[in-house]
Amino acid sequence: MPDEDRYLAHLCGLADNPNLPEHLLDKLVAVTSGELDTGPDLFGAPTLDMSDLADAPVVESAGEAMARRTDLPAATYEQLMGDNRIWVRLYLARNPAVPESLLWTLAKDRAVRPELAWNPAVPLKLLCEIAASVKLPQVLPPRIAEANKTELRFLASSRAWQVRALIALHTALPRDVIDRLLNDPELRVVHALVAAKNPHCSPAFLHDLLERAESTAPQVAQHPNTEADTLMRCLRMPPARRHAARHPNLPAEMITDLLDDPDLLVAEAAAANPALPTKIMEAVLAEAH
């Protein structure tokens, strides 16, 4: 079907063409979503049965290109929202050029609602609603990464612990926000702060946190401020052992002993520890001969 292949290639090119007239944008959106019956004069292309092309990868690529573009009129984004293929709406959800009103509309679609959290232009209020209702990964959303101090303080006062846990991942929080999060009643918020390796987590705080909740051991064992006595305690907790073995604040004697640990992941971590004495490194390499 060379003519059909060429036609689909043309659709892809048009979808990515910044000079495509607005009146043709509407037609292109309709064609790529299967809403129009293509006549012989549409774009000067041959007549096609669009039902046969519903799942064609190249047509989907055209829709993808449209949904990603940041230079389209609001009406075109609104038209694309009606596409019944979920991936088109997913790309729209992440597109910072989609108007705020349309983002709120997309939020009603449960299938794409989580994707809105990764849109750098998502309204903070909407982001808070999403964080409280959808399980998001512990990754700093771009909108929070760019938030100013006033916005960060607003987020830190959120009633939803999920929102507070997200801002805890921010590495440049105002000191008053950090203090507030360090004393948060929800342990998962504090957990996120430690996981982000916030430099304001003091050695004493990290030790006390481990005493309060052993579940934080893997994160405590990876924090740069964790001291030797706390790391020794982490070594008694299986999920944290390999992290503690790699920590440079661990005593050199213990690092050396861990080279013989029955858990090879722990032994490997000990060998990777920058505090491992050079003479021990030499001895390890000598064994290879």
In a domain, 154, yes or no: yes
Residue 46 is given by DSSP the state P
In a domain, 129, yes or no: no
Which residues are CB-neighbours of 95 under 8 A, at least 6 positions away?
67, 68, 69, 70, 77, 119
Q: Name which of 39-53, 57-71, 215-229 the model is least confident about.
A: 39-53
Answer yes or no: do 186 and 225 share one domain: no
CA angle 269, 203, 240 (to 5 degrees): 30
Answer yes or no: do 98 and 81 share one domain: yes
Last residue of a domain, one of 122, 156, 191: 122
Answer yes or no: do 152 and 195 share one domain: yes
In a domain, 17, yes or no: no
Answer yes or no: do 148 and 181 share one domain: yes
In a domain, 46, yes or no: no
141-181 confidence digits (pLDDT tens): 999 999 999 999 999 999 999 999 999 999 899 999 999 99
Please give the distance of CA 22 from its chain centroid, rounded to a whole number. Answer: 34
Answer yes or no: do 75 and 139 share one domain: no
204-257 confidence digits (pLDDT tens): 999 999 999 999 999 999 999 999 999 999 999 999 999 999 999 999 999 999
pTM here is 0.75
In a domain, 69, yes or no: yes
Domain count of the chain? 3
**Helices 57-68 and 86-94 meet at what angle, rounded to 10?**
20
Answer yes or no: do 158 and 228 share one domain: no
pLDDT band (50, 70, 90) for residue 51 = very low
92-105 confidence digits (pLDDT tens): 999 999 999 999 99
**How many angstroms separate the CA atoms of 81 and 67, rounded?**
9
In a domain, 258, yes or no: yes
Short-list 222, 253, 227, 234, CA closest to 276: 253
Answer yes or no: do 82 and 94 share one domain: yes
Answer yes or no: do 179 and 231 share one domain: no
**How many angstroms separate the CA atoms of 44 and 268, rounded?**
64
Answer yes or no: do 88 and 157 share one domain: no
Residue 192 structural domain: 135-200
Short-list 140, 142, 24, CA closest to 76: 24
